[in-house]
Structure 1
Amino acid sequence: MQTITPFLSLDPKTRHVRLNARDPAFYTNPNPTYAALHALCPTFYWEEQRMWFVTGYDHVNALLRDRRFGRQILHVASREELGLPEPLPHLKNFDAAESWSLLELEPPEHTRLRTLINRAFVSRQIEHMRPEIAALANRLIDSFEKDGETELLSTFADVIPVTMIARMVGIPEEMGPQLLKWSHDYVGMYMFKRSRADEDAAERAATEFAAYVRGVIAERRAEPRDDLLSHMIHTEHRGQHLSDDELVSTVIVLLNAGHEATVHQIGNSVRLILESGLDPAELFRDAAATERTVEETLRICAPVHIFDRWCLEDAEIDGVSFRRGDKIGMVLAAANLDPKTFPDPLTFKPERNEAANLSFGAGIHFCIGAPLARLELNVVIPLLFARLPGLKIKETPRVKDVYHFHGLERLDLDW
């Protein structure tokens, strides 16, 4: 093994890598590590995770669309056949809440669920929310503008995405703080090296979250409203309605995915822009410049770094053979930094025009909430800089120990 940093060792010949994802020097700024992997070992076996990962843009982009790989495996093979352990009893309610998650299903179930909710998330529908998003952002800035300082995540970034997705789904806005708490505990299940305490917190969150959603479903079944939940309850697809279990899983994944990554990305983007030294007035001079700036922040500091796939049939990727039941990880954030696709990849260049970033995935599991997240970012970030000229970082931002997500603990600003 060749030691690259105190937390990274690798053998380019065997393509084996040792990488401590809990080392603050890594998760605080993973990009230099991704650059080293691109240079020495772009497809690698991560010993601590016991599986293969790909970082190359072309390989990740292709894998996201490759139907030989999927988010689900038990629809084609049994646990016994694959040698998989039985579900953990202390995660019974978490597993139940995940059982019909859009993120975890393959066709035909995935197609049926996604068809029922996709219409609400297409760009032309989402665009109608622009005035609402701007009004909410302005109201929040009004509340702290006179103070001359703020902690941006708690006063701004946390509030906007959860409020907007709650409005869309049909959840009362006053539930926002509770939704955030459930979501933070819930997604703890997806961190590397999660602890039993993380699992217990996720189980409690899933139990409470599902019970709450079932109550709202009963209300909307009796008295439909003009919201996405009522639409999902009362709309048929080929003669079928969604079951309550399907509705619970779908609402939970929409509320979690509908804000968690966007909260991270607002903080990541504002920090990146302030540290770049570039002029915000120029970055946001018009809609096209704003869009390029937002996409470049998504490329260089993505909020979600890894997505896994199960191998559904024997396949070979970059010279590595996979058997049915194997897992492979795609490092989306590293693919966005592939020097073969993005010259000078670690440099923030909003004028780039090389390729689409993969921060929202691709293929049938492309993030359904991407149009909403993009609209929120394109509205609220320019507004923040326009309303608070002289905005600057007050204290060095702290990054959360939540890899494979990437977001800040706090972002203290003044002006």
Structure 2
Amino acid sequence: MRAVQEFLKIDTASAEVSLDARHPGFYRNPNPTYAALIEIGPAFYWREQKQWYFTRYDAVNALLRDRRFGRQITHVMSRDEAGLGPADPRLADFDRAESKSLLELEPPEHTRLRTLVNRAFVSRHIEKLRPEIGALAHQLIDGFGPKGEVELLSAFAEIVPVTVIARMIGVPDDMCRQLLDWSHDYVRMYQFGRTAEDEARANRAAKDFADYVVRLAAEKRANPQDDLLSLMVQPARDGQYLTEEELVSTTIVLLNAGHEATVHQIGNAVNIILQSGLDPKSLTSDETRTERLVEECFRISAPVHIFERWALEDVEVQEQSFRKGDKVGLILAAANLDPAKFPEPLAFKPERDEGQNLSFGAGIHFCIGAPLARLEMNTVLPILFDRLPGIRLAQEPQVKDVYHFHGLERLELIW
């Protein structure tokens, strides 16, 4: 096994890799490592994670759409058969909150729930939020602009997306700080190397989050408003209601997915743009340039790096055989760096126009919030750079040690 870096060893013959995901040399800038992994083939066996991961664009794109793989396994085999063992009672509240999550279900349950909420997230409806997003961005900049300095994540990047998704669902603005705290604790369950404390905090957050959703749903039944939660507590056209578990899981996943990644991406994008030395105002001078800039930021610095899938049957992919119940990882952030799709993939090219990146996934689990995330990015970046001429980094930002998410701890700016 050949040592490429102190945290990375590759056996090209077997495509087996030893990679320390908690090493700062990797998680602070994973792109060079992904480039090295793409070179050895479409997939590699990650020794520490004990499973296969796919990296190349065509393979990841195909697997995201391949119905022989799914997000759920217990609908086709028992937990014991899948090697999962009994459910952990310490995670009962988290498991309950996840039990009907759009991210985890397969058809027909997934189809029914997604159809219900999808209407609120299609582009033509989302576009109507542009003035509100712009007004919120201006309001926040009015608050910190005269100071000449800001920590952008806490003062701007966190507030915009969580406020927007909360208002869409029908959560009062004064609950946004609490939503952020619950969400940060909740997603600890998805990071590599999570600890017992991470799990305990996630479980507590899940219980508090679920209890709040149940109380809020009761208020919406009694006094419906023009929001998504009011819609979800009403009977569907066929007269069926969402169960309480479905209502809780769907609301939590929409609130979490509706802001968590976008918070990271605003920070990632501003950091990349300022580090590039290019003129930010020029990059956002018109709608087309802004859209391409945003897509390039999503491509080269995706906020979520891995989606996983279960093999729902015995299957062979890219000359690798998988048994029913095997789990595989799809590294979206690596697929975005495949030179066969994106020439000079490690270079930041704001006007790149070479096709769709995979940061939002693909197939039936394509991110339902993608139109909203794109609109928020395309709205706030031009406003930020127009309102704060001369904006620059006050110090080198630090990347969070939370792989497989990718975002900054803080982003200190001056102008």
The 5 Å alignment of 1:140-151 reads 140-151=140-151
Q: Report deviation, 1:81.
A: 2.4
Partner of residue 401, structure 2:
401
Task: State the match for 1:339 in structure 2.
Answer: 339
1:32-51 counterparts in 2 under 5 A? Answer: 32-51=32-51
Quick one: which amino acid aligns to residue 410 of structure 1?
A: R
| C-alpha distance after superposition, 1:199-256 (max 9, x if no partner) | 0000000010000110001111111111000111114154321111100000000010
TM-score by length of 1: 0.99
Partner residue in 2 for 1:15: 15
Are the equivalent residues in 2 in contact too, given 1:165–1:259 (CA < 8 A)? Answer: yes
The AA in structure 1 aligned to 2:193 is K
Q: Indicate the SS of the match to 1:408.
A: coil
Q: C-alpha displacement at 1:41, in angstroms?
A: 4.2
- Classify 1:83/1:12 alpha carbon distance in 2 versus 1 (closer, same or farther; 3 Å): same
Between Structure 1 and Structure 2, how many residues are aligned? 415
Kept after mapping to 2: 8 A contact 1:12/1:40? yes
Q: Superposed, which structure 2 residues align to 1:198-277 within 5 Å? A: 198-277=198-277
1:381 Cα deviation from its structure 2 partner: 0.9
Question: CA offsets per residue over residues 62-86 of structure 1, 9 Å max, x none?
Answer: 0000000000000011123233211
Specify the alignment match of 1:101 in structure 2.
101
**1:10-409 aligned within 5 A:** 10-409=10-409
* C-alpha distance in 2 between matches for 1:310 and 1:6: 31
Q: Secondary structure at the match of 1:205?
A: helix
Give 1:45's aligned amino acid. Answer: Y
Indicate if the aligned counterparts of 1:299 and 1:333 stay in contact, CA closer than 8 A: yes
The TM-score, its normalising length taken from structure 2, stands at 0.99
Structure 1 alignment gaps of length 5 or more: none
Tell me the distance in 2 between the aligned counterparts of 1:83 and 1:61: 27
Question: Contact 2:9–2:18 at 8 Å: present in 1 too?
Answer: yes
> In 2, are the aligned partners of 1:112 and 1:237 still within 8 Å (CA)?
no
RMSD of the alignment, in Å? Answer: 0.8
Matches of 1:249 and 1:309 in 2, distance apart? 20
1:329-364 Cα distance to aligned partner (Å, 9 max, x none): 000000000011111000011221212000000000
- Letter paired with 2:134: A
Unaligned runs of 5+ in 2: none
- Deviation of residue 175 (structure 1)? 0.6
User: Percent of aligned pairs with the same residue?
Assistant: 65
- Counterpart residue type for residue 212 of structure 2: Y
User: Is the contact made by 1:16 and 1:44 (CA closer than 8 Å) also made in structure 2?
Assistant: yes
Q: Any idea what SS the aligned residue of 2:138 has? A: helix
Distance 2:41 2:57 in 1: 14
Q: Contact 1:398/1:409 (CA < 8 Å) preserved in 2? A: yes
